[in-house]
Amino acid sequence: MPVENDPTAKVITDRLPLVVETAQLHKSAVESGRVRVSIRTETDQRTIGSELRSEAVTVERVAIGRELAPGEALPVPREERDGALFIVPVIEEVLVVEKRLVLREELHLHRTASLERVEHPVTLRRQEASVERLPARLDGDIAQDSKPSTQEVTP
Protein backbone atom coordinates (compact mmCIF):
# COMPACT_ATOMS: atom_id res chain seq x y z
CA MET A 1 0.00 0.00 0.00
CA PRO A 2 1.54 3.28 -1.01
CA VAL A 3 1.98 5.92 1.51
CA GLU A 4 0.82 9.32 0.63
CA ASN A 5 3.87 11.10 1.89
CA ASP A 6 6.29 8.60 0.38
CA PRO A 7 8.28 10.30 -2.38
CA THR A 8 9.33 7.03 -3.95
CA ALA A 9 5.81 5.91 -4.51
CA LYS A 10 4.57 5.91 -8.09
CA VAL A 11 1.53 7.92 -8.93
CA ILE A 12 -0.53 6.70 -11.86
CA THR A 13 -3.01 9.08 -13.36
CA ASP A 14 -5.46 8.43 -16.18
CA ARG A 15 -7.41 11.10 -17.91
CA LEU A 16 -11.00 10.53 -18.85
CA PRO A 17 -12.65 12.95 -21.31
CA LEU A 18 -15.92 14.15 -19.87
CA VAL A 19 -17.68 16.64 -22.16
CA VAL A 20 -16.52 18.60 -25.24
CA GLU A 21 -18.55 21.59 -26.36
CA THR A 22 -18.56 22.87 -29.97
CA ALA A 23 -20.11 26.01 -31.38
CA GLN A 24 -21.70 26.47 -34.80
CA LEU A 25 -22.78 29.70 -36.40
CA HIS A 26 -25.87 29.85 -38.60
CA LYS A 27 -26.89 32.94 -40.56
CA SER A 28 -30.32 33.71 -41.93
CA ALA A 29 -31.71 36.71 -43.75
CA VAL A 30 -34.07 38.81 -41.70
CA GLU A 31 -36.14 41.49 -43.40
CA SER A 32 -35.57 44.75 -41.55
CA GLY A 33 -37.51 46.98 -43.91
CA ARG A 34 -38.55 47.47 -47.53
CA VAL A 35 -38.02 50.14 -50.16
CA ARG A 36 -40.41 51.11 -52.92
CA VAL A 37 -38.94 52.97 -55.95
CA SER A 38 -41.32 54.68 -58.36
CA ILE A 39 -40.22 56.32 -61.60
CA ARG A 40 -42.39 58.95 -63.20
CA THR A 41 -41.71 60.26 -66.72
CA GLU A 42 -42.94 63.69 -67.70
CA THR A 43 -43.11 65.08 -71.22
CA ASP A 44 -42.96 68.70 -72.17
CA GLN A 45 -43.73 70.11 -75.62
CA ARG A 46 -41.31 72.83 -76.60
CA THR A 47 -40.42 74.59 -79.82
CA ILE A 48 -36.76 74.91 -80.63
CA GLY A 49 -35.40 77.21 -83.28
CA SER A 50 -32.31 77.30 -85.39
CA GLU A 51 -30.96 79.08 -88.43
CA LEU A 52 -30.47 77.13 -91.62
CA ARG A 53 -28.10 78.42 -94.28
CA SER A 54 -28.80 77.59 -97.90
CA GLU A 55 -27.26 78.61 -101.19
CA ALA A 56 -28.89 78.89 -104.58
CA VAL A 57 -27.21 79.15 -107.97
CA THR A 58 -28.75 80.90 -110.94
CA VAL A 59 -27.40 80.47 -114.46
CA GLU A 60 -27.10 83.55 -116.67
CA ARG A 61 -26.06 82.99 -120.29
CA VAL A 62 -23.91 85.85 -121.60
CA ALA A 63 -23.40 85.84 -125.41
CA ILE A 64 -19.79 86.62 -126.43
CA GLY A 65 -19.41 85.59 -130.10
CA ARG A 66 -15.67 86.37 -130.31
CA GLU A 67 -13.29 84.29 -132.42
CA LEU A 68 -10.16 83.12 -130.76
CA ALA A 69 -6.95 84.17 -132.47
CA PRO A 70 -4.77 81.36 -133.80
CA GLY A 71 -2.52 80.12 -130.95
CA GLU A 72 -4.59 81.94 -128.28
CA ALA A 73 -4.95 79.92 -125.09
CA LEU A 74 -8.37 78.48 -124.37
CA PRO A 75 -10.25 80.36 -121.65
CA VAL A 76 -10.51 78.42 -118.35
CA PRO A 77 -13.22 78.58 -115.69
CA ARG A 78 -12.60 81.35 -113.12
CA GLU A 79 -14.06 82.83 -109.95
CA GLU A 80 -14.84 86.50 -109.50
CA ARG A 81 -16.36 88.68 -106.76
CA ASP A 82 -14.77 86.65 -103.93
CA GLY A 83 -16.35 83.39 -105.05
CA ALA A 84 -19.84 84.79 -105.57
CA LEU A 85 -19.52 84.49 -109.38
CA PHE A 86 -18.10 81.49 -111.27
CA ILE A 87 -17.58 81.91 -115.03
CA VAL A 88 -17.46 78.84 -117.27
CA PRO A 89 -16.42 79.50 -120.91
CA VAL A 90 -18.30 77.54 -123.59
CA ILE A 91 -16.21 76.82 -126.70
CA GLU A 92 -17.64 75.83 -130.04
CA GLU A 93 -15.93 74.73 -133.22
CA VAL A 94 -17.40 76.33 -136.29
CA LEU A 95 -16.72 74.85 -139.72
CA VAL A 96 -15.90 77.52 -142.17
CA VAL A 97 -13.51 77.17 -145.04
CA GLU A 98 -11.06 76.85 -142.29
CA LYS A 99 -11.56 75.69 -138.76
CA ARG A 100 -11.60 78.39 -136.05
CA LEU A 101 -12.37 78.44 -132.37
CA VAL A 102 -15.15 80.82 -131.44
CA LEU A 103 -15.98 81.77 -127.86
CA ARG A 104 -19.73 81.45 -128.19
CA GLU A 105 -20.82 82.32 -124.66
CA GLU A 106 -19.93 82.28 -120.98
CA LEU A 107 -22.02 80.89 -118.22
CA HIS A 108 -22.11 83.24 -115.25
CA LEU A 109 -23.11 81.30 -112.14
CA HIS A 110 -24.21 83.69 -109.39
CA ARG A 111 -24.07 82.35 -105.85
CA THR A 112 -26.43 83.84 -103.27
CA ALA A 113 -26.74 82.81 -99.64
CA SER A 114 -29.86 83.07 -97.52
CA LEU A 115 -30.57 82.52 -93.86
CA GLU A 116 -33.90 81.08 -92.79
CA ARG A 117 -35.24 80.78 -89.24
CA VAL A 118 -37.05 77.48 -88.67
CA GLU A 119 -38.91 76.14 -85.65
CA HIS A 120 -39.72 72.52 -85.02
CA PRO A 121 -41.70 71.08 -82.10
CA VAL A 122 -39.89 68.41 -80.08
CA THR A 123 -40.87 66.28 -77.07
CA LEU A 124 -38.51 66.45 -74.10
CA ARG A 125 -38.76 63.76 -71.40
CA ARG A 126 -37.74 63.99 -67.78
CA GLN A 127 -37.81 61.16 -65.22
CA GLU A 128 -38.09 61.49 -61.50
CA ALA A 129 -37.59 58.63 -59.01
CA SER A 130 -39.14 58.67 -55.56
CA VAL A 131 -37.95 56.29 -52.83
CA GLU A 132 -40.31 55.36 -50.00
CA ARG A 133 -39.17 53.34 -46.96
CA LEU A 134 -41.74 50.75 -45.84
CA PRO A 135 -41.82 48.74 -42.62
CA ALA A 136 -40.81 45.07 -42.72
CA ARG A 137 -43.55 42.59 -43.64
CA LEU A 138 -44.56 40.00 -41.10
CA ASP A 139 -44.56 36.43 -42.43
CA GLY A 140 -48.36 36.20 -42.65
CA ASP A 141 -48.89 39.63 -44.27
CA ILE A 142 -49.50 39.99 -47.99
CA ALA A 143 -48.92 43.43 -49.48
CA GLN A 144 -52.27 44.71 -50.72
CA ASP A 145 -50.98 48.12 -51.81
CA SER A 146 -48.44 47.08 -54.44
CA LYS A 147 -48.87 48.57 -57.90
CA PRO A 148 -47.76 46.86 -61.13
CA SER A 149 -45.69 49.90 -62.22
CA THR A 150 -43.47 49.91 -59.09
CA GLN A 151 -40.83 47.44 -58.00
CA GLU A 152 -40.14 46.59 -54.38
CA VAL A 153 -36.54 45.88 -53.46
CA THR A 154 -35.35 44.50 -50.14
CA PRO A 155 -32.05 46.14 -49.12
* Domain-embedded: residue 97: yes
* Domain-embedded: residue 114: yes
pTM: 0.38
Pick 146 or 137 by higher pLDDT: 137
* Dist CA 25 CA 35 (whole Å): 29
* Domain-embedded: residue 112: yes
* Domain-embedded: residue 66: yes
pLDDT digits (tens, 9 = 90+) for 19-45: 778 888 888 888 888 888 888 889 989
Range of the domain at 79: 46-121
CB 126 within 8 A of CB 86: no
pLDDT at residue number 6: 63
Domain count, the chain: 1
* Domain-embedded: residue 139: no
* Domain-embedded: residue 22: no
pLDDT digits (tens, 9 = 90+) for 54-72: 988 899 999 998 888 888 8
pLDDT at residue number 97: 78
